[in-house]
Amino acid sequence: MKQCMDSGSLHRRLKKIIGQVQAIDKMVDEDVPCEDILSQINAAKSALHGCGKVILEGHIKHCVRDGIDHGDVDKTIDNFTKAVERFANMG
């Protein structure tokens, strides 16, 4: 799976998200208004969704193409369907 995506870029994105979540955790202890915390949670959720899009795009460009090129069309379609369903459930 590593060849499907730019893992360095994905790791950078994930580290930023980890920082966002840690900041949210601190906000709870600092008695920050609820709407501000919710706003930051939404930002972290959007960032995770962006990571999902990067992974799904890599899956399409590499795994799906590779599966079709090697004649594994049915299995490739099944795997692609699973990936899309999992991505759709992220919302």
Please write the tens of the pLDDT for every residue from 1-19: 566 778 888 999 999 999 9
Q: Quick one: average pLDDT of 16-31?
A: 96
CATH number where 9 lies: 1.20.58.1000
Query: Domain range spanning residue 62?
Result: 2-88
* Distance from C-alpha of 25 to C-alpha of 17, rounded to nearest angstrom: 12
Determine the average pLDDT of the residues in 40-68: 93
Structurally, the chain folds into a number of domains equal to: 1
For residue 5, the model assigns a pLDDT of: 74
Degrees, nearest 5: CA angle 45-65-76: 80
Determine what percent of the chain is predicted with pLDDT higher than 70: 96
**Mean pLDDT over residues 56-68, rounded?**
91
d(CA 49, CA 51): 5
Q: What is this structure's pTM?
A: 0.81
Compute the average pLDDT of residues 12-34. Answer: 96
